[in-house]
Amino acid sequence: MVKLDVVRSANAALADGTKPFVAVVAGGTAGIGEATVRALAATFAGRGSGDGDRGFLRVYIVGRNREAAHKIIAECETACPGGVFRFYKGDLSLLKEVDRVCAEIIGIEQREADAKAAPAKIDFLVCCQGVLSLTVEESNEGLDKYFSLYYYSRMRLVERFLPLLIASPNGGHVVSVFNSSIQSSLVLDDLTLRNPRNQTLRTRFAHFVGMTNIFMEELARRNSGRLALCHYHPGFVPTNILNSSNLPWYLKFLVNYIVTPLSWPFWVPFEECGQRILFMASPARFPALEFKGTEAAAGKVKGVEIATGIDGKFGGGAYLVTKDDDTFGKEKKYDELRANGTAEKIYQHTMTVFAEIEASGVYKD
């Protein structure tokens, strides 16, 4: 367990930089995404004094609830007068919407960079979008919308933002919030889970987890020294995701009025959750693979040690992170998947899905 005061110290170090810190939070209008946005505002609150020194923190909030976003932005601007917070509405279950939002954000960052004769960059990307569902619902792009929310849209965000992420001085940092504690299990003969027998909740979630871990590790390998990726299990954070799901009323009742109250000693408070997610932007704890400044960065924050990656190596570049910012350590099965070509197969499948939807608007396998 990484103590919360160490987390806060490492986060404060992010705010001490001389260059603007740029973050994108997908699914940022509620729950864990909102907690992350508020953690950014609180951490950078001491920088600047108003309009004369704005822009050292730029946060792009992507989601569906415009009213909630405006409330969050107003409160964050009050807490952090030197920050700039912008909202972009989009249905992130559709890759064409992901592409549209990414293009708008990239355009703004490129204009900001051109005005200052500096390279455009994004330092931190957090993906929280998702809903709970017991059913499969195919979108007009040919993908299960829930599979897209938890995997395809998240990896598309990374792929679209990749040129700006790898331009970040300490390597771009990416967090996908799902459940890295689940034992992954891939359905290799049905990667998009078309077959009804592969559509149980347990099979789907285990498959989503496996796809995420493999694609992230492959991205870290292909962008060595420039990109760090974390798959984060936040623990029990009392969000309203259950109420917005299509689960039957009796399950909602059971969780809301029996499970949740009884589990309150194990809750992770929103504020702590936001701080722990922001900690994953720290090159001291989660460096990009073979990042040259790893040891120096770790030495700058007392109590911070370099994390162990999926590959079992310190500073492995791709990390399975617990709710306390520890890591689950080496996943031996991924050694086999790399050796037998499965990792390459999943990477190429994912890129093919992206290319076909971009070209024709629909994926057909």
Q: Which of 37-41, 66-70, 246-250 has the lowest average pLDDT? A: 246-250
Q: Round the average pLDDT of the chain to a whole number and report it.
A: 87
Whether the CA torsion 136, 142, 145, 147 is positive or negative: it is positive
Tell me the pLDDT band of 17, cut-offs 50, 70 and 90: confident
CATH hierarchy code of domain 4-360 = 3.40.50.720
Tell me the pLDDT band of 50, cut-offs 50, 70 and 90: very low
pLDDT at 285: 94
Tokens of 120: 């455009």
Mean pLDDT of 200-209: 88
Distances (CA, A) of 166 to 100, 171, 222, 331: 21, 5, 11, 26
Burial of 74 (0-12, 13-18, 19+ CB in 10 A): exposed
pLDDT at 253: 58
Distances (CA, A) of 201 to 143, 155, 247: 16, 21, 12
Domain residue limits, the chain: 4-360
Q: Nearest CA to 121 among 14, 230, 21, 15?
A: 21
> Is it the case that residue 255 has pLDDT exceeding 70?
no
Could you read off the pLDDT of 91-138 as tens digits, one per residue? 999 999 999 999 999 999 999 888 887 889 999 999 999 776 667 889
Dihedral of the alpha carbons of 16, 18, 19, 25, in degrees to the nearest 10? 10
pLDDT at 247: 59
Tokens of 147: 């599979």
| Contact between 122 and 165 (Cβ < 8 Å) | yes
The helix (H) or strand (E) run that includes residue 85 is strand 83-89
Amino acid 233 reads H
226-230, 312-316, 323-327 — most confident range: 226-230
Whether the CA torsion 320, 299, 80, 164 is positive or negative: it is negative
Helix locations, the chain, DSSP H: 4-14, 31-43, 66-79, 95-115, 145-147, 153-165, 201-222, 249-254, 260-262, 270-279, 294-299, 333-339, 342-360
Tell me the pLDDT band of 49, cut-offs 50, 70 and 90: very low
Greater model confidence, 331 or 70: 70
Please, which residues bridge with residue 60 across strands? Answer: 24, 86
82-86, 298-302, 338-342, 353-357 — most confident range: 353-357
Q: What is the longest distance spanned by two Cα atoms in the chain?
A: 59
pLDDT at 298: 53
Tell me the pLDDT band of 166, cut-offs 50, 70 and 90: very high
> Is it the case that residue 271 has pLDDT exceeding 50?
yes
pLDDT at 339: 78
pLDDT at 241: 58
* Angle (deg, nearest 10), helices 66-79 and 31-43: 20
For the chain, give the percent of residues with pLDDT over 90: 61
